[in-house]
Structure 1
């Protein structure tokens, strides 16, 4: 079910699923009923209420919304924030960078976020936007967990694309093992977050190299793993 999960403070958990949890996305041609059953199994494993886990309609944007404002349906966004930490949040990936964040207000209330940081969203500033929105909600001492994603040795791109990305985020520039141009998105995400004063933990695992994880590069049209952050009732 989980590639990695941990209780990070009293009644606050973060985790990343693996392929044993099954595909959790409704947009990849899978049987919708089967996907919903898997989501229900994940909620049961998390210990949260049925149908309470909040997903997004991810479009590689820099749009961040508050879960309380987004309604019940999956909103079109690539970042979702719970300003009281009560909404269990999910981000789905199959090579892009899943980022989970948590902070506390001076009153002790949890502020949490789940963010989909693909190449375009990362370069367009979705992580700074997410941190800014969390701080506007009163969060301090923010921590982040970067989950399994494609590594810099596997994410080959055209030279012009690497140059364009490096102009915005130099830490993302990389090379494959063969010496061809590549992008290291998790390294770029880590540097960007640390520059914002966020304490970052990287969870190891390259999606393209590990068959226990889904990878669009390895298998186009594949399923999606999820990063989840939640409090138990």
Structure 2
């Protein structure tokens, strides 16, 4: 994978995770950042005393640090990225017309060199491409958005824009052994289908469950005909040296997951 405008020192100092998927054309490019290799200080650092790559400007970090982190990220991209104002909802926007502050939790594009991006720190980032690189998308799927239909809405928007044979990658999120939820979360998914119960493991405490957000996402995607789903093997909570985690730390940074169609 090649990146625009990057230097050798940038490549060393910005650790990233590539989607491990098959069937996606080579000119579809994307990655997820980690918490390492930036300019942010604790508690937004890299977890080991070094600078953190926090990309969220709404979490209490120094704005100057966030700006530096975002400026360097943009050197890896064909065009500067515009981030959504995420609200755990189901709105899907077109990246070609996106403006700073637009509210939404997913973004798609058919245009070359237009970057789709979302921010997470335990919630599930999902990157999408169709098999012919006609449409790509990125979605932010916390449990509220996942239960309400953000992934279904993203797939619908992609198909309306010409996508077929959609492929998805589940980026770094909270793992199934760490995602403790209450009965309200179970009920939110059971409103759609009772077969979602298998993705919740009851704990000994009354009304407490461990939820498998990766399993829920695969289930939701399969219901709308997306069967090629990859990833889903990381845990933002337990991999402290790799990822920010709101569930683990409370005050923390945000990582980005990004995708675009290269020219």
Change (3 A) 1:14 1:146: same
Match for residue 81 of structure 1 among 78, 89, 108: 108
Q: How many residues align?
A: 226
**Structure number with larger C-alpha Rg:** 2
88, 93, 96: which one pairs with 2:123?
96
In structure 2, relative to structure 1, the CA distance for the partners of 1:144 and 1:6 (3 Å cut) is: closer
Return the TM-score normalized by structure 1.
Answer: 0.88
2:63 counterpart residue number: 32
For 1:200, the equivalent position in structure 2 comes to 229
In structure 2, which of residues 141, 147, 171 is the aligned counterpart of residue 117 of structure 1? 141
The Cα shift of 1:157 comes to 1.3
Matches within 5 A, 1:1-233: 1-6=14-19, 8-21=24-37, 22-44=53-75, 46-49=76-79, 52-70=80-98, 72-103=99-130, 110-168=134-192, 170=196, 173-175=199-201, 180-198=208-226, 199-211=228-240, 212-233=242-263
Is the 2:129–2:137 contact (alpha carbons within 8 Å) kept by the matching residues of 1? yes
Segments of 5+ residues of structure 1 without an aligned counterpart are: none
Cα displacement (A) at 1:209: 0.8
Most deviating of 55-64 and 160-169: 160-169
Stretches of 4+ aligned residues off by more than 4 angstroms: 176-180
What is the TM-score with the length of structure 2 in the denominator?
0.78
The answer on whether the counterparts of 1:64 and 1:130 sit within 8 Å (CA) in structure 2 is yes
What RMSD over aligned residues (CA atoms) do the two structures have, in Å?
2.2
